[in-house]
Amino acid sequence: MGKLLEKIFVIEGILFAVLGILFVFNPINSLVVLTNVTGLILVSLGILYLIRDRRNIVISIINIILGAGLIAMPTESINLIISFYGAWSVVRGIYIVVDALRNDMDNNKFSLIYGGVIVLLGLLILLNPIISFISVPYIIGSYFIISGLCELYIGFRIK
């Protein structure tokens, strides 16, 4: 189990770092691509939910409509994606901090710092919408690079 977990963290770390570098060096196109990919994921989830269980019809339709809207209007949808991403970063960072405080691990300080940085980056995105539009690709890029390095660190520490 440890080897599989190690590989997952390492792969995730590499993917996050590459994404971060793409955001830093190609900021505007990266936002449009992120919006399109999010749209495709939502449409795919909507279809899969519909196929898997007909009781999920409402959430399936919502996912498909939202995803289609993101794909049809990626530039207009960027602000929505930016806000969602900021909120997601805050929630994920808080989760990492709470998990670090709850579990007595060797890398508690590392997890606390990592979670705190993610919360700060998410708050930067949420609290400065005008500045965020210009700087958010760099903030997201920084987030992915930091997350990638942290995931690699965790992956190589798992025994």
Residue 59 host element (H or E): helix 57-72
Backbone CA torsion sign across 144, 150, 154, 155: positive
For the chain, the structural domain boundaries read 2-157
**Residue 47: enclosing H or E segment and its boundaries?**
helix 27-52
pLDDT attached to residue 102? 86
- The pLDDT value given to residue 43: 92
The answer, yes or no, to whether residue 94 has pLDDT greater than 90, is yes
Model pTM above 0.85: no
Contact of 41 with 67, CB cutoff 8 Å: yes
Collect all residues with Cβ–Cβ distance below 8 Å to 3 and sequence separation of at least 6: none
Contact (CB, 8 A) for 146 and 21: no
Q: What are phi and psi of 30, to 5 degrees?
A: -65, -40
Question: CA 17 to CA 33: how far, in whole Å?
Answer: 17
Q: Which residue has the tokens 């449409």?
A: 43
pLDDT in tens, 14-56: 887 887 888 888 887 888 888 888 888 889 888 988 888 777 7
- Give mean pLDDT, residues 140-147: 83
User: What's the pLDDT band for 2 if we cut at 50, 70, 90?
Assistant: low
Q: CB neighbours (10 Å) of residue 72? A: 10
Average pLDDT over residues 148-158: 80
Asked if 36 contacts 74 with a C-beta cutoff of 8 angstroms, the reply is: yes
